[in-house]
Structure 1
Amino acid sequence: MNSVKRCDRDHISYAASDYLLGHIMSNLIIYDEQRQPRRLGEQIGRGGQGDIYALAENPNIVVKIFNQEKIQERGRELREKVFVQIRVLEDLIKSPYVTWPQIEVFDSNDQWIGYAMKKAKGLPLSNLAHPMLYLKYFPNIDRKGIVQILLHLLDTIDLLHKKGICLGDINLGNFLADPSTFKVYLIDTDSYQIRNGSQIYPCPVGRPEMTPVEHHGKDFRTITRTIESDLFSLAILMFQCLMLGQHPYSQVGGGNPVENLRKGNFPYGKGNPKPGEVGSLPPGPWYIIWSHLTFNVKSLFIKTLKEGVNDPSSRASVKEWRDVLQKYYFAIQRDYNTSEIRPAQPKTSRDSEDHS
C-alpha cells in the first residue's frame, strides 16, 4: 500500500523523546511537509490524544500535536491513518464543515508529530443540550433552530457514510454548532473509522452511554463500526439535543443509563410505567417536551432506541430522520407545533396521544 511506503520514508522514529516535548512547548515551532518552519500560536484545545494550537500566521488553521505517549504507543498506526485521510480521502479536505487532516507536521528532528486542519467554528453541542447553558450560549435559538442544527448535521454525516466512513465516537463534545448560522462542524475526525481497500482503520474510542449494545464489553480498537451502530448513537445525540440534554435511557430507578440501554429500557412511548413508578421517565419537564414532538419524530426514536436495541436493521436511517425532521421544522414554522424549547404545558392533541 502506498501509504505504508510513504510512512516508512525519512527513517521516522516513534520513540519517546523528552527533547520533542520540550522543543514544542518552549519554541512552538513545527515544520510542514516541505519542511518549512511554522510558528504555533495559542493553545486552544486539549484532549486525551493531543493538544490543539492555532497557527500564528493563519488563525483559521489549527495544528493537532499528538501526545508523546500516543506517539510512542501508536505513532506508526496514527500516521498511516492520517496519511490515508489526507491522500486517499483528500476530497473531504474541501468540506467546510469537516475538520479533516490537511497536511502532516513534523518537529525539527523530522519526527512526525501530528497534522494541520481548518479551524472549526461554534460551540460544543453539550452547551445546546443543557437545561441552563443553552440560554447563555445559544440565546437566540428556539426549537426550530435546534431542528436546523440537526438537519445540517444529518447532511454531513450522510456525506461521510456514503464514503464508507463511520464516525464511531458520536457524542455532544465532538460537534460544534455556530449560534448565528446553526451550521455544525465535525471535530476529532482522526478518530473516525475509515477504509483503504481491505484495510480498516478503527475508531479506537467511545462512550458506553452512547454506544449500541453490539459493541459493549469490547475493545473499541478491535471492533468494526457500522452505519447502523452510528445510527444508534446519532439517535441518542439527537434525543439529547431535543430534550435539553436528558439521556433517553434515564428513568426512575432501574439502574443507570448504560444498564438501561443494555436492557433496551426506553421509558418513552405507550406501554411504559406511569410517572413516578420504577422504570418511568424521570421527574422534570421531559414528558411535556416529549408530548410536543411530532408523532413521526417520536416514532423514529421508539423504532431506534427501543425496537432497534438488539436489531440494528430496524434503526432509522439518515434519510428517514431527515424526512421527519424537515416536516417537524415546517410544522413549527406554521405554528402547528410550538417553537418553545421548554414549553410549560403538555400538548393535548391526537398527535401527542399516539406515542404519549
Structure 2
Amino acid sequence: MSSTQGTGGMLDAGTRLTTERDEQVTVKSLLGFGGQGEVYEVDTPGGPAALKWYFPQLADVHRWRILEALVDRAWGDDRFLWPRTIVADPSRESFGYVMDLRPKRFHDLPALLRRDKAVAAATPRSLITTALNTVEAYKTLHEQGIAYRDISWGNVFFDPDNGDVLVCDNDNAVVEGESAGIEGTMNFMAPELVRRDQGVKPGIQTDLHSLAVLLFYLLMNHHPFDGALELRIHCLDEKAQRKLYGTEPVFVYDPVRTANRPVPGEQDTVIATWGVLPQVLRDLFIKTFTEGLTRPGERARESEWRDALSAVRDAIVPCATCGKENMTQPDGAAPECWKCRRPVDLPMRLELTAGKGKRRPQRHIRLNRGAELYPHHLQEDPERHDFGTPIGEVTPHPTTPGRFGLTNRSARPWRVRRADGSQLEVPPGRTAALRPGLLLELGDGAEAVVRER
C-alpha cells in the first residue's frame, strides 16, 4: 500500500459502519491505498484495527465469497493480517474487511532499497531472519493448499531489528485451483503468467517464483533479471517488461547465458551483494532462475529455502577487525569481510545432529561469543523457527580472556564427554568449556561435537 496523509478517501473520518458480527466500527483516518482499494484505521469494540475498503468496481459477488471463506477459516497465525470480519454498506455500493492494525515497528521492503533511516538497524542477521520468516509464513499457507497469488514487496512488512514479518493483503489467498481475480505484480510474476501461457493460472508453483524474486530483492537489493539487458531498454513500458520478465528472461548470474550480467558502475549493489552471498543460497537462486524459468517443478521449494537460510543464519560471524557481520558458507572456508576486506577469523563450530528419526539433519553452528542454540536446532523438521528463548549460549570464561563455554539455558541437564573420555553432567545454568572434540548430548536425541573450524 502507498502511504498517504489525511482522511480524504472514499470514507470520511467519523463514518460508522457495521460488521457481519453486528459490531460498530468508526473510521478514523486513511492509512494508504493500492490497486484494489483503501486502508483506514478504525475504532472497534476490541480496540484500534485496520479496514480495507474496496473500490466499488471491485466489490463484486466473487470477492465477497472469497472474503467469507477467508473469515470462516479464522487463520490464527500471528504472521498474517488475516481478514477478521466483513464490513458492508449498501449505500456506498461497496464493502471491506477488518484486520489487525500493523504495528509501527514493521516497515515495507522497498524501504531497504530507499535506504530509509527507519530500517538502518537492519543487519545481515536480521535480513536473513526476515527471509527465513517470510519463507516459513508462505510455507504454512501452501501446506494448507492455499496459493497467495501476489507475493511481492508490497505485501510483506518486516522489523529491521529482529526480522519478524507480517503478511498483508491476504484477501488474494485462495485454495489452489480457484480464481481470486488477480494474477500478481508484473516484475514478481512467474514467466508463464507474464507470457499468458494457455491454461496457466496463478498457484503455488507460480508463488515459488515470486517468493524467490522477493528473497533476491531482500538480500540483493535488486531484481534477478535487471542486468545489462534492462539498461539497454529506453522505455520500460508493458511490452518491454513482458520481454524482460516473461518471453526472454535471463538471470543476471546465469552460469551459461552471460549477456545479462550486472554492469559495473551502474549496478554495483547487486555485484557486491552477490559476491558475499554464501554458495548454498546462490545455488537455490541459480536453480530457480535458470531451470525453473521453463520447468516450474525445478523451482526451489520453501523447505529448501528454509534449510539454507537457517544454516546461513547459524554461520554468521562478526569480523574481528571492524565488527561487521558476515554471512559464511555453513561448513566452508573463511571469507573476506565485506566491509574492511580483511580475512574473517572463523571460530569453532558445533556440528549438531538433530532428532531421533531417519532424517536426522546435520547443522553447523558457529560458536561466536553470544551465539545461541534454540529448540529448533534439536528438531528434525522444525515447523517454525522461534528465536525468542535460547536453550544454550556461548559465554566468555569469567577469568581467562579468549576462552569460552556453552552455557545450558534449557530446563534439563546435558551430558558431556571430553576428548579424554571423562563424562560429566551440565545442569541448567552451568557451562561446559568449549574445546575441539567435546561431545554433547542435548536431549530429544540431539548430539553435537565441537570442531576446530
Cα pair 1:288 1:345 within 8 Å, conserved: no
Q: What are the equivalent positions in structure 2 for 1:269-284 lying under 5 Å apart?
A: 270-273=255-258, 278-283=259-264, 284=268
SS class of match (2:228): coil
Partner of 1:16: none
Report the more deviating stretch, 233-242 or 171-180: 171-180
Of the candidates 280, 286, 289, which is equivalent to residue 302 of structure 1?
286
Q: What percent identity do the matched residue pairs reach?
A: 23
Distance 1:215 1:80 in 2: 24
Distance 1:227 1:23 in 2: 34
Taking structure 1 as reference, are residues 44 and 79 closer, same or farther at Cα in structure 2, changes over 3 Å only?
A: same
Q: What are the equivalent positions in structure 2 for 1:1-356 lying under 5 Å apart?
A: 24-25=11-12, 27-57=14-44, 60-71=48-59, 75-87=60-72, 89-90=73-74, 92=75, 94-107=76-89, 113-121=95-103, 122-128=106-112, 130=113, 132-134=114-116, 136-194=117-175, 200-218=178-196, 224-244=201-221, 246-253=222-229, 255=233, 258-262=242-246, 263-268=248-253, 270-273=255-258, 278-283=259-264, 284-333=268-317, 339=325, 343-344=338-339
Query: Which structure has greater helix proportion?
Result: 1
SS class of match (2:96): strand
* CA apart distance, 1:292: 1.0
Cα pair 1:29 1:107 within 8 Å, conserved: no
Considering only CA atoms, is the larger Rg found in Structure 1 or Structure 2?
2
Cα pair 1:97 1:120 within 8 Å, conserved: no
- Residues 7-59 of structure 1: CA deviation (Å, up to 9, x unaligned): xxxxxxxxxxxxxx999426511112243432111111212211111122455
Distance 2:115 2:287 in 1: 30
* CA apart distance, 1:298: 0.4
Size of the aligned set, in residue pairs, is 311
Taking structure 1 as reference, are residues 285 and 109 closer, same or farther at Cα in structure 2, changes over 3 Å only?
A: closer
Amino acid across the alignment from 2:338: P
Q: CA RMSD in A?
A: 3.2
Which segments of 5 or more consecutive residues in structure 2 lack a partner in the other structure? 1-7, 234-239, 328-336, 345-453
Partner of 1:353: none
User: Whose RCO is larger (CA < 8 A, sep 6+)?
Assistant: 1
Taking structure 1 as reference, are residues 294 and 111 closer, same or farther at Cα in structure 2, changes over 3 Å only?
A: same
Cα pair 2:128 2:313 within 8 Å, conserved: yes
SS class of match (2:196): coil
Query: Which structure has greater strand proportion?
Result: 2
Amino acid across the alignment from 2:224: P
SS class of match (1:25): coil
Taking structure 1 as reference, are residues 180 and 173 closer, same or farther at Cα in structure 2, changes over 3 Å only?
A: same
SS class of match (2:280): helix
Cα pair 1:86 1:101 within 8 Å, conserved: yes
Amino acid across the alignment from 1:281: P
* CA apart distance, 1:301: 0.3
* CA apart distance, 1:259: 2.5
Report the more deviating stretch, 182-191 or 331-340: 331-340
Cα pair 1:249 1:258 within 8 Å, conserved: no
Distance 2:58 2:35 in 1: 9
Query: TM-score, length-normalised on structure 1?
Result: 0.78
Distance 2:295 2:37 in 1: 36
Taking structure 1 as reference, are residues 59 and 125 closer, same or farther at Cα in structure 2, changes over 3 Å only?
A: farther
SS class of match (1:229): helix
* CA apart distance, 1:219: 9.8
Amino acid across the alignment from 1:39: T
Amino acid across the alignment from 1:50: G
Distance 2:66 2:342 in 1: 49
Which segments of 5 or more consecutive residues in structure 1 lack a partner in the other structure? 1-20, 350-356
Taking structure 1 as reference, are residues 219 and 213 closer, same or farther at Cα in structure 2, changes over 3 Å only?
A: closer
SS class of match (1:329): helix
- Residues 74-124 of structure 1: CA deviation (Å, up to 9, x unaligned): x1111111001111x22x1x2211111111112275976111111223111
Cα pair 2:317 2:326 within 8 Å, conserved: no
* CA apart distance, 1:286: 2.3
Amino acid across the alignment from 2:162: T
Distance 1:177 1:265 in 2: 29
* CA apart distance, 1:343: 3.1
- Residues 265-290 of structure 1: CA deviation (Å, up to 9, x unaligned): 112153454xxxx5322221322221
Cα pair 1:101 1:115 within 8 Å, conserved: yes
